[in-house]
Amino acid sequence: MVIVMESEATEEQVDGIVGRIESIGLRAHLSQGQERTIVGIIGDERLVDPQVFEALAGVERVVQILHPAKLASRDFHPADRVLDLGKGVQIGGNDVLIMAGPCAVEGPEQLEATADIVAAQGVRVLRGGAFKPRTSPYAFQGLGEKGLQILREAADRLDMLVVTEVVSNHDVPVVAEQADILQIGARNMANYSLLRAVGQTQKPVLLKRGLGSTIDELLQAAEYILDLGNQRVALCERGIRTFEPSTRFTLDINAVPVLKHLTSLPIVVDPSHATGKAAFVGPVARAGVAAGADGLIVEVHPKPTEALSDGAQSLPPAMFATMMEEVRRVAAAIGRGVA
Protein backbone atom coordinates (compact mmCIF):
# COMPACT_ATOMS: atom_id res chain seq x y z
CA MET A 1 0.00 0.00 0.00
CA VAL A 2 1.30 3.42 -0.95
CA ILE A 3 0.04 6.53 0.78
CA VAL A 4 0.39 9.78 -1.19
CA MET A 5 0.53 12.84 1.04
CA GLU A 6 -0.91 16.20 0.03
CA SER A 7 1.61 18.76 -1.24
CA GLU A 8 1.06 20.86 1.86
CA ALA A 9 1.25 17.92 4.32
CA THR A 10 3.29 18.73 7.40
CA GLU A 11 6.09 16.66 8.88
CA GLU A 12 3.81 16.04 11.84
CA GLN A 13 1.15 14.56 9.61
CA VAL A 14 3.68 12.26 7.98
CA ASP A 15 4.80 11.16 11.44
CA GLY A 16 1.18 10.46 12.30
CA ILE A 17 0.87 8.14 9.32
CA VAL A 18 4.05 6.33 10.18
CA GLY A 19 2.90 5.90 13.78
CA ARG A 20 -0.42 4.51 12.66
CA ILE A 21 1.28 2.00 10.35
CA GLU A 22 3.61 0.83 13.10
CA SER A 23 0.75 0.59 15.59
CA ILE A 24 -0.75 -2.24 13.51
CA GLY A 25 2.51 -4.13 13.35
CA LEU A 26 3.67 -3.11 9.87
CA ARG A 27 6.62 -1.02 8.75
CA ALA A 28 6.59 2.31 6.94
CA HIS A 29 8.99 3.40 4.23
CA LEU A 30 9.27 7.09 3.32
CA SER A 31 10.04 8.49 -0.10
CA GLN A 32 10.50 12.26 -0.25
CA GLY A 33 9.74 13.59 -3.75
CA GLN A 34 10.01 17.13 -5.06
CA GLU A 35 6.34 17.88 -4.63
CA ARG A 36 4.94 15.03 -2.58
CA THR A 37 5.94 12.64 0.18
CA ILE A 38 4.99 9.03 -0.32
CA VAL A 39 4.71 6.49 2.48
CA GLY A 40 4.95 2.82 1.58
CA ILE A 41 3.66 0.07 3.85
CA ILE A 42 5.88 -2.97 4.22
CA GLY A 43 3.98 -6.10 5.28
CA ASP A 44 0.72 -7.77 4.36
CA GLU A 45 -1.37 -4.83 3.22
CA ARG A 46 -4.43 -7.07 2.93
CA LEU A 47 -4.77 -6.71 6.69
CA VAL A 48 -5.20 -2.98 6.30
CA ASP A 49 -8.38 -1.18 5.30
CA PRO A 50 -7.26 1.59 2.90
CA GLN A 51 -10.10 3.81 4.08
CA VAL A 52 -8.49 4.01 7.48
CA PHE A 53 -5.56 5.87 5.93
CA GLU A 54 -7.64 7.90 3.49
CA ALA A 55 -9.23 9.51 6.52
CA LEU A 56 -5.98 10.66 8.10
CA ALA A 57 -4.93 14.32 7.99
CA GLY A 58 -2.60 15.21 5.15
CA VAL A 59 -3.39 12.17 3.02
CA GLU A 60 -4.27 12.81 -0.63
CA ARG A 61 -4.93 9.22 -1.66
CA VAL A 62 -4.07 5.61 -1.00
CA VAL A 63 -2.96 3.20 -3.71
CA GLN A 64 -3.38 -0.54 -3.14
CA ILE A 65 -0.49 -2.55 -4.52
CA LEU A 66 -1.65 -6.11 -3.88
CA HIS A 67 -4.95 -7.50 -5.06
CA PRO A 68 -7.04 -7.76 -1.91
CA ALA A 69 -8.40 -11.19 -2.79
CA LYS A 70 -5.57 -13.38 -1.61
CA LEU A 71 -7.06 -16.89 -1.79
CA ALA A 72 -8.53 -16.24 -5.23
CA SER A 73 -5.29 -14.85 -6.63
CA ARG A 74 -2.94 -16.63 -8.98
CA ASP A 75 -0.10 -15.49 -6.70
CA PHE A 76 -1.61 -17.76 -4.02
CA HIS A 77 -2.43 -20.68 -6.33
CA PRO A 78 -0.36 -20.37 -9.52
CA ALA A 79 -1.57 -23.44 -11.41
CA ASP A 80 -4.96 -23.44 -13.13
CA ARG A 81 -7.50 -24.92 -10.73
CA VAL A 82 -9.44 -27.80 -12.22
CA LEU A 83 -12.70 -28.24 -10.37
CA ASP A 84 -14.40 -31.62 -10.11
CA LEU A 85 -18.13 -31.09 -10.44
CA GLY A 86 -19.25 -34.70 -10.09
CA LYS A 87 -20.14 -37.50 -12.52
CA GLY A 88 -16.70 -37.13 -14.09
CA VAL A 89 -17.35 -33.57 -15.23
CA GLN A 90 -14.64 -30.95 -14.70
CA ILE A 91 -14.11 -27.27 -15.39
CA GLY A 92 -10.78 -25.47 -15.70
CA GLY A 93 -8.91 -28.19 -17.58
CA ASN A 94 -8.27 -28.46 -21.28
CA ASP A 95 -11.90 -28.95 -22.24
CA VAL A 96 -14.30 -26.04 -22.44
CA LEU A 97 -17.42 -26.94 -20.43
CA ILE A 98 -20.82 -26.10 -21.88
CA MET A 99 -23.77 -25.52 -19.56
CA ALA A 100 -27.10 -25.12 -21.33
CA GLY A 101 -30.81 -25.11 -20.75
CA PRO A 102 -33.77 -22.79 -20.43
CA CYS A 103 -33.80 -19.48 -18.59
CA ALA A 104 -36.60 -20.78 -16.35
CA VAL A 105 -38.03 -24.20 -15.67
CA GLU A 106 -41.60 -23.88 -16.92
CA GLY A 107 -42.73 -27.46 -16.44
CA PRO A 108 -41.64 -31.08 -16.99
CA GLU A 109 -42.45 -31.16 -20.68
CA GLN A 110 -40.47 -28.04 -21.61
CA LEU A 111 -37.55 -29.08 -19.46
CA GLU A 112 -37.37 -32.65 -20.67
CA ALA A 113 -37.46 -31.44 -24.27
CA THR A 114 -34.68 -28.94 -23.62
CA ALA A 115 -32.59 -31.50 -21.77
CA ASP A 116 -32.86 -33.84 -24.74
CA ILE A 117 -31.82 -31.08 -27.14
CA VAL A 118 -28.72 -30.09 -25.20
CA ALA A 119 -27.76 -33.65 -24.27
CA ALA A 120 -27.90 -34.55 -27.97
CA GLN A 121 -25.11 -32.01 -28.48
CA GLY A 122 -22.99 -33.64 -25.79
CA VAL A 123 -23.77 -31.18 -23.03
CA ARG A 124 -23.27 -32.61 -19.53
CA VAL A 125 -24.53 -29.71 -17.40
CA LEU A 126 -28.17 -28.68 -17.51
CA ARG A 127 -29.01 -25.13 -16.50
CA GLY A 128 -32.47 -23.89 -15.56
CA GLY A 129 -33.94 -21.38 -13.16
CA ALA A 130 -36.29 -22.50 -10.41
CA PHE A 131 -35.98 -19.39 -8.23
CA LYS A 132 -35.91 -16.41 -10.60
CA PRO A 133 -34.82 -12.89 -9.68
CA ARG A 134 -37.01 -10.65 -11.86
CA THR A 135 -36.82 -6.87 -12.21
CA SER A 136 -40.58 -6.53 -12.06
CA PRO A 137 -42.70 -8.08 -9.29
CA TYR A 138 -45.31 -8.81 -11.96
CA ALA A 139 -43.04 -11.08 -14.05
CA PHE A 140 -42.94 -14.90 -13.78
CA GLN A 141 -40.93 -15.71 -10.65
CA GLY A 142 -40.14 -19.37 -11.26
CA LEU A 143 -41.58 -22.67 -9.98
CA GLY A 144 -39.42 -22.82 -6.85
CA GLU A 145 -38.90 -26.23 -5.24
CA LYS A 146 -41.07 -27.92 -7.81
CA GLY A 147 -38.77 -26.58 -10.49
CA LEU A 148 -35.79 -28.06 -8.68
CA GLN A 149 -37.33 -31.51 -8.74
CA ILE A 150 -38.11 -31.25 -12.44
CA LEU A 151 -34.49 -30.27 -13.09
CA ARG A 152 -33.15 -33.12 -10.98
CA GLU A 153 -35.29 -35.73 -12.69
CA ALA A 154 -34.42 -34.59 -16.20
CA ALA A 155 -30.74 -34.47 -15.36
CA ASP A 156 -30.74 -37.89 -13.73
CA ARG A 157 -32.44 -39.47 -16.71
CA LEU A 158 -29.63 -38.20 -18.96
CA ASP A 159 -26.77 -38.52 -16.44
CA MET A 160 -26.32 -34.74 -16.37
CA LEU A 161 -25.41 -32.29 -13.66
CA VAL A 162 -27.70 -29.43 -12.63
CA VAL A 163 -26.66 -25.81 -12.22
CA THR A 164 -29.33 -23.50 -10.86
CA GLU A 165 -29.51 -20.15 -9.14
CA VAL A 166 -30.01 -19.65 -5.43
CA VAL A 167 -31.38 -16.23 -4.49
CA SER A 168 -31.70 -16.37 -0.71
CA ASN A 169 -29.75 -17.94 2.16
CA HIS A 170 -33.01 -19.49 3.25
CA ASP A 171 -33.10 -21.53 0.04
CA VAL A 172 -29.48 -22.71 0.13
CA PRO A 173 -30.19 -26.08 1.81
CA VAL A 174 -33.01 -27.05 -0.50
CA VAL A 175 -31.14 -25.99 -3.63
CA ALA A 176 -27.95 -27.69 -2.44
CA GLU A 177 -29.90 -30.90 -2.00
CA GLN A 178 -31.13 -31.01 -5.58
CA ALA A 179 -28.48 -29.18 -7.57
CA ASP A 180 -24.85 -30.06 -8.34
CA ILE A 181 -23.66 -26.49 -8.84
CA LEU A 182 -25.03 -23.42 -7.05
CA GLN A 183 -25.24 -20.30 -9.16
CA ILE A 184 -25.00 -16.84 -7.61
CA GLY A 185 -26.58 -14.41 -10.04
CA ALA A 186 -25.25 -11.01 -11.03
CA ARG A 187 -27.77 -9.19 -8.85
CA ASN A 188 -26.58 -11.11 -5.79
CA MET A 189 -22.82 -10.97 -6.35
CA ALA A 190 -22.48 -8.55 -3.45
CA ASN A 191 -25.11 -10.23 -1.28
CA TYR A 192 -22.54 -11.21 1.30
CA SER A 193 -24.97 -13.18 3.47
CA LEU A 194 -25.70 -15.40 0.51
CA LEU A 195 -22.00 -15.73 -0.36
CA ARG A 196 -21.33 -16.89 3.18
CA ALA A 197 -24.19 -19.36 3.00
CA VAL A 198 -22.89 -21.02 -0.14
CA GLY A 199 -19.35 -20.85 1.23
CA GLN A 200 -20.52 -23.08 4.06
CA THR A 201 -21.78 -25.78 1.70
CA GLN A 202 -19.41 -28.09 -0.13
CA LYS A 203 -21.13 -27.55 -3.47
CA PRO A 204 -19.32 -26.01 -6.44
CA VAL A 205 -20.36 -22.41 -7.03
CA LEU A 206 -20.80 -20.51 -10.30
CA LEU A 207 -20.37 -16.87 -9.28
CA LYS A 208 -21.57 -14.28 -11.77
CA ARG A 209 -20.05 -10.82 -11.96
CA GLY A 210 -22.37 -8.04 -10.84
CA LEU A 211 -23.52 -5.82 -13.66
CA GLY A 212 -21.96 -2.78 -12.00
CA SER A 213 -19.04 -4.62 -10.37
CA THR A 214 -15.36 -4.45 -11.21
CA ILE A 215 -13.17 -7.47 -11.76
CA ASP A 216 -11.53 -6.80 -8.39
CA GLU A 217 -14.88 -6.88 -6.65
CA LEU A 218 -15.73 -10.16 -8.35
CA LEU A 219 -12.53 -11.64 -6.98
CA GLN A 220 -13.33 -10.35 -3.52
CA ALA A 221 -16.80 -11.86 -3.72
CA ALA A 222 -15.14 -15.19 -4.56
CA GLU A 223 -12.88 -14.63 -1.57
CA TYR A 224 -15.90 -14.75 0.76
CA ILE A 225 -16.65 -18.28 -0.47
CA LEU A 226 -13.04 -19.49 -0.54
CA ASP A 227 -12.37 -18.08 2.91
CA LEU A 228 -15.08 -20.34 4.34
CA GLY A 229 -13.36 -23.40 2.95
CA ASN A 230 -15.34 -23.99 -0.21
CA GLN A 231 -12.63 -24.12 -2.88
CA ARG A 232 -14.76 -24.94 -5.91
CA VAL A 233 -15.64 -21.54 -7.37
CA ALA A 234 -15.93 -20.68 -11.06
CA LEU A 235 -16.32 -17.04 -12.12
CA CYS A 236 -18.69 -15.87 -14.83
CA GLU A 237 -18.51 -12.77 -17.05
CA ARG A 238 -22.07 -12.05 -18.16
CA GLY A 239 -21.95 -8.46 -19.36
CA ILE A 240 -21.71 -5.15 -17.56
CA ARG A 241 -23.72 -1.95 -17.66
CA THR A 242 -22.44 0.61 -20.11
CA PHE A 243 -23.91 3.49 -22.10
CA GLU A 244 -24.43 1.29 -25.20
CA PRO A 245 -28.15 0.64 -25.62
CA SER A 246 -28.18 -1.79 -28.56
CA THR A 247 -27.61 -4.86 -26.38
CA ARG A 248 -28.90 -5.63 -22.88
CA PHE A 249 -25.38 -5.53 -21.42
CA THR A 250 -21.83 -5.19 -22.77
CA LEU A 251 -19.80 -8.38 -22.54
CA ASP A 252 -16.39 -7.41 -21.14
CA ILE A 253 -14.31 -9.71 -23.30
CA ASN A 254 -11.11 -8.19 -21.89
CA ALA A 255 -12.15 -9.63 -18.54
CA VAL A 256 -11.39 -13.15 -19.77
CA PRO A 257 -7.62 -12.72 -20.17
CA VAL A 258 -7.48 -10.27 -17.26
CA LEU A 259 -9.12 -12.82 -14.95
CA LYS A 260 -6.92 -15.64 -16.29
CA HIS A 261 -3.96 -13.43 -15.35
CA LEU A 262 -5.17 -12.52 -11.87
CA THR A 263 -6.67 -15.81 -10.77
CA SER A 264 -6.36 -19.52 -11.47
CA LEU A 265 -10.07 -20.13 -10.89
CA PRO A 266 -12.00 -21.21 -14.02
CA ILE A 267 -13.71 -18.49 -16.09
CA VAL A 268 -17.11 -18.88 -17.72
CA VAL A 269 -18.77 -16.60 -20.30
CA ASP A 270 -22.54 -16.10 -20.58
CA PRO A 271 -23.30 -14.85 -24.10
CA SER A 272 -27.07 -15.05 -23.60
CA HIS A 273 -27.44 -12.45 -20.86
CA ALA A 274 -24.60 -10.35 -22.25
CA THR A 275 -26.34 -9.76 -25.56
CA GLY A 276 -30.03 -10.37 -24.90
CA LYS A 277 -30.66 -11.43 -28.49
CA ALA A 278 -30.38 -14.94 -29.95
CA ALA A 279 -28.78 -13.74 -33.19
CA PHE A 280 -25.76 -12.41 -31.27
CA VAL A 281 -25.26 -15.37 -28.93
CA GLY A 282 -23.28 -17.52 -31.37
CA PRO A 283 -20.67 -14.89 -32.32
CA VAL A 284 -20.15 -13.87 -28.70
CA ALA A 285 -19.93 -17.51 -27.54
CA ARG A 286 -17.19 -18.09 -30.12
CA ALA A 287 -15.41 -14.94 -28.97
CA GLY A 288 -15.51 -16.07 -25.36
CA VAL A 289 -13.91 -19.39 -26.19
CA ALA A 290 -11.35 -17.75 -28.49
CA ALA A 291 -10.39 -15.39 -25.66
CA GLY A 292 -9.70 -18.31 -23.35
CA ALA A 293 -12.88 -18.98 -21.38
CA ASP A 294 -13.08 -22.36 -19.64
CA GLY A 295 -16.82 -22.62 -19.99
CA LEU A 296 -19.99 -21.19 -21.52
CA ILE A 297 -23.46 -20.97 -20.05
CA VAL A 298 -26.13 -20.61 -22.70
CA GLU A 299 -29.91 -20.32 -22.75
CA VAL A 300 -31.72 -22.83 -24.96
CA HIS A 301 -35.44 -23.32 -25.37
CA PRO A 302 -37.34 -25.76 -27.57
CA LYS A 303 -39.69 -22.95 -28.66
CA PRO A 304 -38.26 -19.55 -27.65
CA THR A 305 -41.38 -17.81 -28.90
CA GLU A 306 -43.35 -19.51 -26.14
CA ALA A 307 -40.81 -19.02 -23.34
CA LEU A 308 -42.08 -17.47 -20.12
CA SER A 309 -38.85 -15.49 -19.74
CA ASP A 310 -35.83 -14.48 -21.77
CA GLY A 311 -37.28 -15.88 -24.98
CA ALA A 312 -35.51 -13.28 -27.11
CA GLN A 313 -32.10 -14.49 -26.04
CA SER A 314 -32.81 -18.24 -25.97
CA LEU A 315 -31.44 -20.33 -28.80
CA PRO A 316 -33.84 -22.65 -30.59
CA PRO A 317 -32.50 -26.19 -31.23
CA ALA A 318 -31.03 -25.55 -34.68
CA MET A 319 -29.18 -22.39 -33.66
CA PHE A 320 -27.82 -24.17 -30.60
CA ALA A 321 -26.53 -27.03 -32.74
CA THR A 322 -24.79 -24.53 -35.03
CA MET A 323 -23.29 -22.71 -32.07
CA MET A 324 -21.94 -25.98 -30.63
CA GLU A 325 -20.40 -26.93 -33.95
CA GLU A 326 -18.71 -23.53 -34.29
CA VAL A 327 -17.56 -23.47 -30.70
CA ARG A 328 -15.98 -26.90 -31.13
CA ARG A 329 -14.04 -25.68 -34.14
CA VAL A 330 -12.87 -22.47 -32.43
CA ALA A 331 -11.85 -24.45 -29.33
CA ALA A 332 -9.89 -26.88 -31.50
CA ALA A 333 -8.17 -23.92 -33.19
CA ILE A 334 -6.65 -22.97 -29.85
CA GLY A 335 -5.90 -26.51 -28.81
CA ARG A 336 -8.88 -27.20 -26.59
CA GLY A 337 -11.73 -29.66 -26.59
CA VAL A 338 -15.36 -29.12 -25.65
CA ALA A 339 -17.17 -31.11 -22.98
Site for a second copy in 277-306 (CB under 8 A): 277-280, 283-284, 286-292, 304-305
Rounded distance, CA 126 to CA 205, Å?
14
CA–CA dist 338, 226 (Å, integer): 27
Task: Indicate the Cα dihedral angle 282, 288, 289, 290, nearest 10°.
Answer: 100
Please count the residues of this chain forming the interface with a second copy, following the rule CB under 8 A: 114
CB of 299 to a second copy, least distance (A): 11
Rounded to whole angstroms, the Cα distance separating 122 from 198 reads 29
For a second copy, which residue of 23, 65, 79, 318 counts as binding (CB under 8 A)? 65
**Choice between 33 and 88, CB closer to a second copy:** 33
Instruction: Pick the closer one to a second copy by CB: 118 or 166.
Output: 166
Nearer to a second copy, 176 or 190 (CB): 190
Contact string 85-124 vs a second copy (x = CB under 8 A): ----------------------------------------
d(CA 253, CA 79): 22
Q: Give the separation between CA 34 and CA 296, rounded to whole angstroms.
A: 51
Q: Rule CB under 8 A: which of 251-270 touch a second copy?
A: 251-258, 260-261
Assess contact for 58 and 36: CB atoms under 8 A: no
Whether the Cβ atoms of residue 209 and residue 255 lie closer than 8 Å to each other? yes
Question: In this complex, which beta carbon is closest to a second copy, that of residue 212 or of residue 337?
Answer: 212
Q: Which residues, numbered 186-205, are part of the site for a second copy (CB under 8 A)?
A: 187-188, 190-194
CB under 8 A: which stretch of 68-76, 86-94, 110-118, 156-164 binds a second copy? Answer: 68-76
Integer angstrom CA distances of residue 15 from 47, 50, 135, 214: 21, 18, 51, 34
Which residues inside 29-58 make contact with a second copy, applying CB under 8 A?
Answer: 29, 31-36, 38, 40-44, 46-47, 49, 51-52, 54-57
